[in-house]
Structure 1
């Protein structure tokens, strides 16, 4: 049965048509007959993944929601990675259907669970998806924070394919707001790390509505071939640096136009869950009490506090609360 499940996962990821559905369906039937709850949940996750890849949204939502419910019943003691991944897949499906609020919630919860089990590498991909989701909700500053955090993970793991996807996410976030020459350079870098073929081509077409070939032709037509070639020759660290520079320039430009204040920018760097944790900290809650209130583990609460301290530039709970009160961050949490 495990062999069938593994084969189904590979076929689903590759989008292998009928076989990608038949194999996990067979595994699902066998798991139900054997009353193997873990195998049933896995099969449903793989069926949902396959439905997501072919954009069969009714089936995707049905399979993944049932899988998520079963994983929650089983608890994190059974395949915590796939359990967390199921929520991430459901969140990504929500984004692709323009259900941005639910998508952000599911992706954030999935990210928290991956971090809690030490899956930092996988967290990078979720951060990229979160960047797109919160951008779609109009929060560019937080989108940039998510993207930059994901890029740091790419850099630590030296994952060329992940950096290629991060570069493409950056292009989508900046859209027409970045200079054409810099965009051409970034396209060249992204293409060097992972060509616009296979999954990368499908991923780009799905998110941007245009083909990689069409993008390349536009760059040539507009006279930015030299910039493209320069980007194509950039190193890993040079590509990360270029993206960070472009993102900071974008934020600076947007901040100048909107009159964004430092306290508003500081508040936007906190995720919804971090805001909830900070609110409970201000009310005197211990890690155990906060975890019970938010239905998360004490380890996850500690992780959030570390993230809050880092973003606010403090070392203690009292300092975090003091800054929140001084900059009126709690008014944005109401």
Structure 2
């Protein structure tokens, strides 16, 4: 005999009678639906999860999409009210997104589908925030609690004890989930409950299906995480806002995650860098929620502290647009905070502004930071500010000023015994000397920087210096060594997830494959452009020159109409890991094949490309005429009213384009081609 009992959560005290029935009736089977366990000895639980959702990152065909349970239910209910609705290429992503936004909850999907009698899928999606007010359908054959999603959740909430209700509404604070220590800390701040009682309350909410337990990742051994479905979180936040504790709890949440980010700050220079990046990545949504709250309150100090500790994360993870938005908002309110903190916020804003290519604004902000550090008598702060001003001067083409700032900062770092700053300054100085053509000096300081990064265990720093050494190897026509260095850098950057630095590695590889493997070079540049666009980081002036050089070689061999098309659509769907694996596979294959890189190196130095078209730009032709007349870089700069370093960059580009290693060789090759 089978006895079916529905919605038994309303009668939980009667569960003991079910045990008696089972004990006295051996042939009896019970099928019980309940929002929480009955806690009987014979009980076998079968959790009913939300319906399976489509993967929005890799959307399947419309035929496959229609079979995914959440989409299938949504379509079934929508077509009952609007028979003409069909899943097609033009609405597939919209419908998949609606299902995902509703967490695959059957009632939410049915209530949303009912709205398609008057709304299109696109307009429904646009109105899904907030969800609770939209999801209603007063069908007379439905119980009142199922006619609106709010009523259903009210019913579940009313079944909770007062302490469970308190915890539930506070859990609405957490965006993207939480760990047990986070919720225990925030609860204890307010109620001074012990950890065991908080765990008991959380367990009760898990058993009632209101809280989800995340499946542990194979890659992490961290503590368990929990989350609310977004639809349920919206309801919890609504309840929290209705309570008198809302402001206090939002502040507790913001302070806790600020302290977590501040714990990470000392580790950015050393071997724990990746571990803390992963830890904060898990809490990305919580940190955003904390920033969003403090930015709307009279909490200038909290806002400044959060921005001051978060900007290195935004920098390392190429989240520059987001970071700059928070920093610019904080800068408008930092007048009231103490000077050291104000300088930290300005430094973060300057750093992201620099990466986004606004060198004038970055210079202004870094100069203010330097003045503040001098006023505070902070030698390390002064050294970092000088280093940063040196980077700006380098990208502005003033290599002399750049070297002066960097050497002054380097001396201060060495005096203070600051390894991270020393490595940073050496790396930047190596780049300046690389652009000046001082290859031996450049290699010396870059190798010293690399040793220091190794000693610190700093993954990001090692990757950056390896990239610079790769560029230096390419200057020396050692394409195989350049490729090896760029690939090593790429593998390290994959761990960090720094997209704009990964783009630089791809560009370095493109430069050394341009003359022998033009299709590969074009493909690498296309991938790099996608990463730069995503990160919001433009090419520096020097990088633009390398791009122009590379593309000249590519244009000589490929149909321009086919660049940069090809597999662009397929590539746009690739993850960062897939991009890197593809690059490593293809470039390693070139390295292992017979002499591809060797030919690339020798071609540039001894075999000029035979083309009737002048490969030089208008400005380069002006520079070349003066160069052929025997003028120095300084004289060329004065004649053309440009910076000496800019003239030097143009000369370097001319040598590359003509396949020459010296000025004399470039002039001879140009004469052979009739370019003089």
TM-score normalised per structure 1: 0.63
The answer as to whether partners of 2:430 and 2:441 remain within 8 angstroms in 1 is yes
Displacement of 1:183 after TM fit? 3.3
Residues 164, 100 of structure 1: alpha-carbon distance in 2 compared, 3 angstrom cutoff: same
Q: Residue 479 of structure 2 aligns with which residue?
A: 140
Residue 379 of structure 2, aligned match among 33, 37, 54: 37
* Residues 173-198 of structure 1 deviation map (CA, whole Å, 9 limit, x = unaligned): 21222142x33433333333332995
Matches within 5 A, 1:277-288: none
Displacement of 1:146 after TM fit? 1.1
User: 1:123, 1:179 → 2: CA distance?
Assistant: 29
Q: How many residues align?
A: 252
Please say if 1:226 is aligned against 2:566.
yes
Q: Residue 240 of structure 1 aligns with which residue?
A: 580
Matches within 5 A, 1:192-211: 192-195=530-533, 199-202=537-540, 204-209=543-548
Secondary structure, counterpart of 2:574 in structure 1: coil
Please say if 1:20 is aligned against 2:359.
no
Displacement of 1:7 after TM fit? 1.6
User: 1:257, 1:184 → 2: CA distance?
Assistant: 16
* Residues 229-255 of structure 1 deviation map (CA, whole Å, 9 limit, x = unaligned): 444443433322332233334334564
The answer as to whether partners of 1:92 and 1:103 remain within 8 angstroms in 2 is yes
Displacement of 1:97 after TM fit? 2.4
Q: Residue 267 of structure 1 aligns with which residue?
A: none
The answer as to whether partners of 2:526 and 2:564 remain within 8 angstroms in 1 is no
Residues 59, 233 of structure 1: alpha-carbon distance in 2 compared, 3 angstrom cutoff: same
Residues 41, 220 of structure 1: alpha-carbon distance in 2 compared, 3 angstrom cutoff: same
Residue segments in structure 1 that go unaligned for 5+ positions in a row: 260-334
Deviates more, 1:186-195 or 1:27-36: 27-36
Please say if 1:72 is aligned against 2:414.
yes
Residue 185 of structure 1, aligned match among 481, 499, 523: 523
User: 1:9, 1:83 → 2: CA distance?
Assistant: 20
Residue segments in structure 2 that go unaligned for 5+ positions in a row: 1-339, 600-676
Secondary structure, counterpart of 1:39 in structure 2: helix
Larger radius of gyration: 2
Please say if 1:3 is aligned against 2:345.
no
Higher relative CO (Cα under 8 Å, sequence separation at least 6) belongs to 1
Residues 223, 13 of structure 1: alpha-carbon distance in 2 compared, 3 angstrom cutoff: closer
Residues 47, 25 of structure 1: alpha-carbon distance in 2 compared, 3 angstrom cutoff: same
Displacement of 1:115 after TM fit? 2.1
Matches within 5 A, 1:1-334: 1=340, 3-4=342-343, 6-8=345-347, 10-11=349-350, 14-15=353-354, 16-32=358-374, 35-76=377-418, 80-180=419-519, 182-195=520-533, 199-202=537-540, 204-209=543-548, 220-222=560-562, 225-253=565-593, 255=595
Displacement of 1:210 after TM fit? 6.5
Residues 10, 93 of structure 1: alpha-carbon distance in 2 compared, 3 angstrom cutoff: farther
User: 1:248, 1:166 → 2: CA distance?
Assistant: 14
Root-mean-square deviation (CA, aligned residues, Å) is 3.4
Displacement of 1:116 after TM fit? 1.4
User: 2:509, 2:491 → 1: CA distance?
Assistant: 14
Residues 20, 162 of structure 1: alpha-carbon distance in 2 compared, 3 angstrom cutoff: closer
User: 1:66, 1:257 → 2: CA distance?
Assistant: 39
TM-score normalised per structure 2: 0.33
Displacement of 1:69 after TM fit? 1.4
Secondary structure, counterpart of 1:14 in structure 2: helix
The answer as to whether partners of 1:91 and 1:104 remain within 8 angstroms in 2 is yes
Residues 183, 45 of structure 1: alpha-carbon distance in 2 compared, 3 angstrom cutoff: closer
